[in-house]
Structures are given as C-alpha cells and as structure tokens.
Structure 1
Amino acid sequence: MRTTLYGQFVAGTKTDEVKQIVDKFKQYNVKVILDYSMESDISTSITASNNVHKSSFNTELDESNTFKIYHPDERIFNTNMFNYIKNSNTSRELCGQSSFIAMKITALVRPLVLQKLNQFLESRITDHNLFDTIDSLLTTKNDFTHSLTPNELGEISNLLLRINRIIQTVKKNEGRIFIDAEQSYFQTAINKIVIHLQRLYNRNNLLVYNTYQCYKK
C-alpha cells in the first residue's frame, strides 16, 4: 500500500509520523484535519451479518457495562468509537486549539440499520414535526415497527450514544469535528442526525460540521 498514493492521503500510522506532517504544514500556515479512516457499506455488512444468527442472539452488556449490545457487530463499533476519541486527543496534542477531526457514521452502526432508518425518514420527509429531534424519532416506536426491529432501534440508540461520547471529547479538547457525507442511501439519515447534533452543540461556537457530496448533478 505504501508504494501507491499512500503518501498523498495518509499522514502516518503513529503519532510521531503524523507530527512530522503537521509541523511541515504549519510552516505554510496550512491546518490539518485528522481522519480515522473507517467506514462500511451494505455489501460488506451483509457478508458479516450472514454469519450471525440474529434470532438466537440475546442482548447483553459490553465489557464496560456502558452499552447494551443488540448485535455482535456492535463491539466493533465500540472499538471504532474509542479510536475516534483517541484521534481527537491526538489532534489536540498535535494541533492545539486548531484541532479538527473527521468521522463517518457507518463506522459506528451497521449500514443495513442505517439504510432502514434512511428509508423511514425519506418516506416521511414532509412530516416536519417528526424530525425536531432524533430523540422524538426513537420514542415514536409505532412508526418504526414496520421496518425496524426493537433490537435495531437499540442499535440506533447506541449509535447516538457513541456519537455524543465522541463529540463530548472533541468539545473537551476545544476542537471541531465534521461528519462526512456518505452514500445517497444513507445520506438523509446522516443529515438529520448531524442537524440534530448541531442544534445541541453549536450554540456558542461552531463544533459540529456537516458535509455534502459534490459529484451528483
């Protein structure tokens, strides 16, 4: 991989490697956004999920007793959450108050669940009152029953917990975070989540940023 375009896109695999790039850019007043590159898509998610017998899986607490696990893949998403938190701490260490990180939602929830949420939101796009907060979506469970199971609703709840823990770390580090746009069949859900987060966190300063794909007509 290092013999390809690695150097164009990857600052390094260790903090001291990244620091060399950050220091080099500082000489030209160029700031950096640290991105922990992790995402998933429907095809990879289906392959992984086919190995799980969902009907026989019982919910349980994770090792930290923080998250109720609704699907085995959630342990991976918890690991990704801690890596994003570590990324924010590294960004603070290297960049100070210009700390800026990027995050992808599909690193924190199963794409199949995110797609179901996306389909639900798109089917009710004119019902503005429904989208005041993500919390109201989760409490309106009767509207979800046709598409999302109780365990999948739990996965969405865990997604929001993970995102909030990451953003709380970014806030503590006096940094900023942008949530990357992804495939069109996820994007309505991602936009709604980000707008909800902006209402929560962008009251005194800009902390959470949304992004848009620019290649579509």
Structure 2
Amino acid sequence: MLSQSATRRISTTAVPRPQYLRIQPLSTHNHQQTRSQTTAAIPTPENLWTTPKWNPKSVRPYKDKSTAELLNSYTVFKLCEFPPLVSMTPAIIDIAEKTGTKFIMNYGVKKTFFKHFCGGETISEVLPTMTNFKRRNMGAILDLAMEADMEADTEPTLAKAKETSSHILSLMKESVDIAGETPGSFIAAKVTAYVPPGVLLRWTNTLRLVQERFDAVKHSDGTTNVPELLKSLQTVFPQLTASQLDKLNKVSKLDWISVSDHFTFANKDIRSGLLTTLPASVHQLMHPIQSANDFETLDAVVEDLHLLMKHAADKQVKVMVDAEQTYFQRAIDDVALELCRRFNVNGNVVVFNTYQMYLKDGLHRLQIDLDRANRAGWTFGVKIVRGAYMVSERERATEMNYADPINPTITDTHATYNAAIEHLLANLSKNLEFVVASHNKSSVAKTVAAMEKHGVSPSNKQISFAQLMGMQDGTSFALAENGYRCFKYVPYGPIDVTIPYLLRRAQENSSVLGGVGEDKQELVAELGRRMRSEV
C-alpha cells in the first residue's frame, strides 16, 4: 500500500490508447433560437429554477441513470452529508495500508464514490461517460487526476524535472486525444504538475518584488518612468541594468501592464538582472529566484507545455490552466499568459487561465489581464471560480504573518464573482471567451439573466458553464436543455492516485459537499417516479 506521502505523487501508470469511436460535436439543434424566441422564456434570477423547462421535475437530471446507479448515488450523497467522514478518511487509508486491506478499500471506493464522481481509471473508460453527456447535449472537461508532490521533492535536478514533465506530457496528450473525439471539449492542466513547486514559489516572490517596487514609484495616474522604475528596482535587484529596461523607453504608457509584460520569464534578456542574494528579511517574503538554474528549469519544462498546447490546438481541444495557491499563482499566471499570447491568436482560443474570485485581488487581476489581451491583440480565455484553497491559504497567512488573501466574508466573494460575470459580459465585443464554473445556482441564474439583458444568445460560443461530474446535475442539465453551453468536469485516473486527489479537494471544498441535499432530493424524486411507474 502506498504511504500517505506517496499517494501525493504523480502517477506513472501508462495506459494504452484504445481505438475510439468517433463522437460528433455537441449538438446545436436546440441552440438555434433567436433572441425574440428566448426573451419570454427567461425569467428573473429569483424564480428561474421554479419555472417550466428549468425546474428539476421537468429536467429530470437523473432520468438516464439505472435504478442501481440512483441507489448508489443516494448512498454517496448521504455519506457526503456526514462532515467527519472527510476528516476520517486519511486515517482509514492509513489503516488499510497497515492491515493490507487496500484492495478491499479500493473496491468499495470504486463502486461508490469513484463511480459517481469520476469518469474511470483509464482513457478507454472515460469514453462512455463523454458519450452519455453528449446524448444530453453537454460537453466534458477531462481532468487527469495528478499533480506534483508538494512534500517530497520540491528541488529536483533539471534532468529529473524534465523527465517528469515529459512523462506528464505523454499522459496529457492521451487526454487531448480522447477529448478531441468531441471537438470543442476541454482538458484541465496544472502547472505544478510540470514546473517544480519550488521554482514557481521563487518566481512568484520575484514578481511580487517587481510589483512592490513599481507601486513604490507609480504616479497618481498609475504610471511611472524608466529612470524612477530602475532606481526602485535596483534596491532589491542590484544586478539590473538600464539596458535591460531599454525596450520600456519605447512604451508610451508605462503602467503595470507594460511593466509586467516586460518582466516575464519568457523575456530572457531581463532574467539575469532579476537574480538577487538579498536575504528574505529585507522584503519580508520567502527567497526570490537567486540562481539561473530556476530559469533553465522553467525553459525546459515549459517546452512541454507548449507541445501540449500545440497538440490541443491541432485536435480542436481547449486547455484550462487551473488556479492554485497564491504563493504559486503569479508564476502560474505568467506561464499561462505566455501560452495565451502564443496560442490564442487569429480568432482561436486554446488556453484559458483561471481566476479565483474569493481572492481579494481576483477581480482586479482579471480586469487587468483582459485589458492586457485587448491591448496586445490576442484572445483572452477565462475560467472564473470562487476558489478551492481557503483553509490552507488562511493557515499559511497566519503562520507566516502576512495579510489574509481571502475575502473577509462569503458575501464579498459572491459579490466579486457576480461582478466578474458582469464585467466579462460588458466586454463581450472584445476578443474574449469565458467559462462560468460554479455550483452556486444564484450565480448561474444571474448569468442567464445578464446574458438576456445584454442580448446574448444562449448558444453564443463565447460563454460556457461548468460543474463537477456528480454535482449540481439539475443545474447542468437544465442549462443544456435550454440551449446553453454546459460542460461537466470529469476527473479520471488510477484509483490509487484518484482517491487522495479527490480527498484533498473534498477537504478544501467541504462546503460544496455539504450542499448535496438538493441533489439527493432530485434522486429521491426520480426513484419515486419509477416506483409509481411514471414514464
């Protein structure tokens, strides 16, 4: 049995590529509605879910499940309503390891939780799941359940880092291949699965220092000049030279967008000037990048991300770059935006960056990056979520004595999330595609109403919705039946890797699991219909 630490490691299990049956693109027959046809059908956000064609009784989200599957899902939801179960699971796994009963635990999990929330262990097992969603006019977001081990080896050699990223690339290409059987589908990708977390941490800290020094000299209009910026930056980056900022002299408006576009890992001319030996106490952060080896590692593994995006573009598959913890996020954004610049061109959108609206700076960063894309002429791909790391983020902020990055209240997060939707809809005329990834029915209803207010058709290809497989199916199927583009997030992978993967998400998203009561009610209603022999 794997140790608890070992279960956090990336799976090295390779699976053979099956011979796939071709699946047609998502149907658009019930999307072809004019605005005049849909106006009367769209109620207000307050009563959307009680109106005909939207309420669970009409939608029947579980009508395609067998009775045995309904009973299994009901059992899973009942267990999800028991909060101590999540906290007890690591101990249960540990006992199974020590007693040699791993196979029994895995069998039980696979027949219950895994069956409800996951698409399968192998790529070939995912295909029927995608086919079932396709029948009800929904797409899939395939998520190979793997990520870097944050505890074991955060400082691998360049050769080891490249070996890991190349292995992941081969697995992710298989994920792209099956997603490509339904053109327009998505896959999810984690930058921490490619780039060593230690490198991301140090590059994030470096970028924080750059912004800190920019903020120290920016004027009231949000701009500065090169001499002032250079002098400020040299207080923490003594090796930085005027020649390395020479291109900024040609920028008419030296604001944060211009500066951050220059201070990116992809700009090799600037990197030697960003190496510093200043102690962390000088800037009250963990150490920034101090060795050129970090940049060499970034270059080597990002090559594999480029190959993944190229493969996805060839297969007409879109890639969602997942958001992660704030202490990695600036570096992840830097990588994601560089991929956007390269692949989201000529009207194509391959790369979507993710923005967490529970962060105090989440909406501002989204707005800045939309402006960045519009200024440079590439298309902005966006996924907006509320967030998934609140507990660990706040614990780390307290431990390291820095400001909590999370919004003070859930009300603030709801307001920020809805404001992000409004901002994106208001800028739909720009080069933009976005995904509303939410289990919050109020936000979904408000998005539907806002689309109507802005005169946006449900079938508009710039807007999609997404929910996790096995969660809020009533919301997902209602969106699909009413002509909106909706996708299900489908985790898959070997059970040994997927169990701890799902557990970590359950621990960070306990509030989501605690909200399965509505799903359970819809299951009971479907069982009741069958007991009464209703069609």
Q: TM-score range by the shorter chain?
A: 0.7 to 0.9
* 1:19-168 equivalent positions in 2, closer than 5 A: 19-40=127-148, 42-46=150-154, 49=155, 70-93=158-181, 95=182, 97-125=183-211, 126=214, 128-132=258-262, 133-136=264-267, 139-146=270-277, 147-168=289-310
1:145 Cα shift?
Answer: 4.7
1:75-114 CA distance string (max 9 Å, x none):
1221011111121112113x2x123111000110110111
**Are residue 9 (structure 1) and residue 117 (structure 2) matched?**
yes
Structure 2 Cα separation of the partners of residues 134 and 140 of structure 1: 7
Q: How many residues are treated as equivalent by the alignment?
A: 195
Conserved in 2, the CA contact under 8 Å of 1:81 and 1:162? yes
Q: Residue 208 of structure 1 corresponds to which residue in structure 2?
A: 351
Once structures 1 and 2 are overlaid, which stretch shifts more, 170-179 or 146-155?
146-155
Tell me which of 172, 195, 200 is aligned to 2:314. 172
Structure 1 Cα separation of the partners of residues 343 and 202 of structure 2: 26
Conserved in 2, the CA contact under 8 Å of 1:45 and 1:112? no
Conserved in 2, the CA contact under 8 Å of 1:167 and 1:177? yes
Structure 1 Cα separation of the partners of residues 171 and 261 of structure 2: 30
Unaligned runs of 5+ in 1: 55-69
Conserved in 2, the CA contact under 8 Å of 1:138 and 1:153? no
2:348 maps to a residue whose letter is: N
Which structure has the larger Rg? 2
Could you tell me the TM-score, scaled by structure 2's length?
A: 0.34
Q: Residue 65 of structure 1 corresponds to which residue in structure 2?
A: none
2:192 maps to a residue whose letter is: T
Q: 1:2 to 1:189 in 2, by over 3 A?
A: same
Structure 2 Cα separation of the partners of residues 151 and 139 of structure 1: 15
Structure 1 Cα separation of the partners of residues 145 and 296 of structure 2: 25
Q: 1:119 to 1:192 in 2, by over 3 A?
A: same
Structure 2 Cα separation of the partners of residues 7 and 13 of structure 1: 10
Structure 2 Cα separation of the partners of residues 196 and 76 of structure 1: 21
Structure 1 Cα separation of the partners of residues 268 and 150 of structure 2: 23
1:74 Cα shift?
Answer: 2.8
